[in-house]
Amino acid sequence: MAMTHGDVKGLVLPPKVACYQVVVVPVPFKGVDTKRISHECQAVKTALQGAGVRALVDEGDNYACGWKYAAWEMKGVPLRIELGSKDLEKNQVRVVRRDTGVKMDVIRVDLVERVKGLMEEIQRDLYVVAKRKLEESIQKVETWDEFKEALRQKNLVLAPWCDEVEVENDVKENSKGENEAGAKTLCTPFEQPELREDTLCFASGKPAKKWTYWGRSY
């Protein structure tokens, strides 16, 4: 999950598995009513928790807002809510998505439903992106030379196999590279591509029994 969704800022967690789905950060300035800002941040948290959203408020006063933003981005919290004096005047909050960085101003009366909708949207978007990355990384081959080239490109390889342990051991040995482990079977897809009667195992030349995913161990 960390490797699939993460970026240079840190983790990007899908809402369903995130310990906290929303972090509320007060944005105080000199000369403003910080107690009111704190009270409203707690009110936002309470409203979200009442709707089943896992939320918390970061009221630590030993770090600036920018530091807090970066810290929570590194931890992968799906949504950040910023609330300052200007937001209070407009009866709104600033909402920031962790996955895309998109910022939006949301009026308080719509906040709970907007957050719940964003949770579903983020979950769906992360899945779609991950699925596309996976599909783009799979290479279907039928020969040993094609297999070696796919490995060189660090792809996940789908190949016809005779389903024999001895052949897999040969593949592991013969596919080793400099400072690289040999390839091994990973799993067999439930939805099998068509297996023609004349399809041969890519490694042994024996009749193939199924299509199987192969890859290196890193």
For the chain, domains (ranges, CATH) are 2-134 (3.40.50.800), 138-216 (3.30.110.30)
Mean pLDDT for the stretch of residues 115-139:
96
DSSP β-ladder status, 22-27 and 55-57: parallel
Residue 141 has what pLDDT?
A: 97
DSSP secondary structure string, 13-77?
Answer: --TTT-S-SEEEEEE--TTS-HHHHHHHHHHHHHHHHHTT--EEE---SSS-HHHHHHHHHHHT-
The region that residue 48 occupies, defined by phi over 0 for left and psi between -120 and 50 for alpha, beta otherwise, is: alpha
Q: pLDDT tens-digit profile of 174-215? A: 999 878 889 999 999 999 999 999 999 999 999 999 999 999
Residues 6+ apart with CB under 8 A from 86: none
**Is the confidence at residue 137, as pLDDT, over 70?**
yes
Tens-place pLDDT, residues 50-99: 999 999 999 988 899 999 999 999 999 999 999 999 999 999 999 999 99
Q: What is the pTM for the complete model shown?
A: 0.82
pLDDT (mean) for 130-144: 95
Q: What's the rounded mean pLDDT across residues 136-151?
A: 96
Task: Determine the residue type at 100.
Answer: T
Strand order through the sheet with 138-140: 138-140, 156-161, 210-216, 183-187
- In percent, the amount of the chain with pLDDT more than 90 equals 90
With bands split at pLDDT 50, 70 and 90, how would you rate the model's confidence at 218? low
- What's the mean pLDDT when you consider all of the chain? 95
Contacts of 13 (CB under 8 A, 6+ apart): 1, 5, 75, 76, 77, 78, 98
Q: What is the pLDDT of residues 5-57, one digit of tens each?
A: 999 999 999 999 999 999 999 998 777 788 999 999 999 999 999 999 999 99
Distance CA 94, CA 96 (A): 7
Please answer whether residues 64 and 128 qualify as being in contact, where contact means their C-beta atoms are separated by less than 8 angstroms: no
